[in-house]
Copies of this chain bind each other. A is one copy, B any other.
Amino acid sequence: MEADANVSRRPLEQELVSRGVRMTHQRRLLVQIIQSADGHLDAVGLWQRAMQQDPTLNKVTVYRTLGMLKKLGLVDELDLMHLEGGKHYYEAKTTRDHIHLACTKCGRIQEFESSLFEKLKGQIERERQFRISTVRVEAGGLCDRCQE
């Protein structure tokens, strides 16, 4: 299984099929939730949403599915500065890379895109001959609403 930085814009399910991944109904459900979620789901949150539709779906299956998607490079794994415990968050890699801003006071997560970020990635690849497959930028601090 190889990660792929050039992620298509196809729905995850189609992407998996085209990569020869066996589509079980558990995977179909999980992948649909990830795709339609506003983002930043943790494993247990994903599991809870899934159980609303299939109460027999096991938490272990969630972890295994996330592991597979991560290996295939179809989801990004985030920590969001560990605002609440050591868990991880996942989001489909369907958009441009973006930066996550985590407010340490109210817990709000903002996303931020920037061409500077794209330039920075280019600089790294050029100057270090480093072939980036995943980048994670997370900033912790006070958001505009929480200052003063």
Residues of A within 8 A of B (CB): 3, 77, 79, 81-82, 86, 88, 99, 101, 103-104, 110, 112, 114, 116-117, 119-121, 123-124, 127-144, 147
Contacts and interface: CB of A to CB of B under 8 A. Distances in A.
Given A112-B124, A116-B120, A123-B116, A134 B101 contact: no
How many copies the complex holds: the figure is: 2
B141 A81 contact: no
A128 B143 contact: yes
Contacts of A128: 101, 110, 112, 143-144
Contacts of A136: 81, 136-139
B129 A147 contact: yes
A142 B137 contact: no
Given A116-B119, A123-B114, A132 B138 contact: no
Contact of A120 (B120, B130, B132): B120
28 contacts: A3-B104, A77-B82, A81-B134, A86-B88, A99-B124, A110-B130, A112-B128, A114-B123, A114-B124, A116-B123, A120-B120, A128-B143, A129-B143, A131-B141, A131-B142, A132-B139, A132-B140, A132-B141, A133-B141, A133-B142, A134-B139, A134-B140, A135-B137, A135-B138, A135-B139, A136-B138, A136-B139, A137-B137
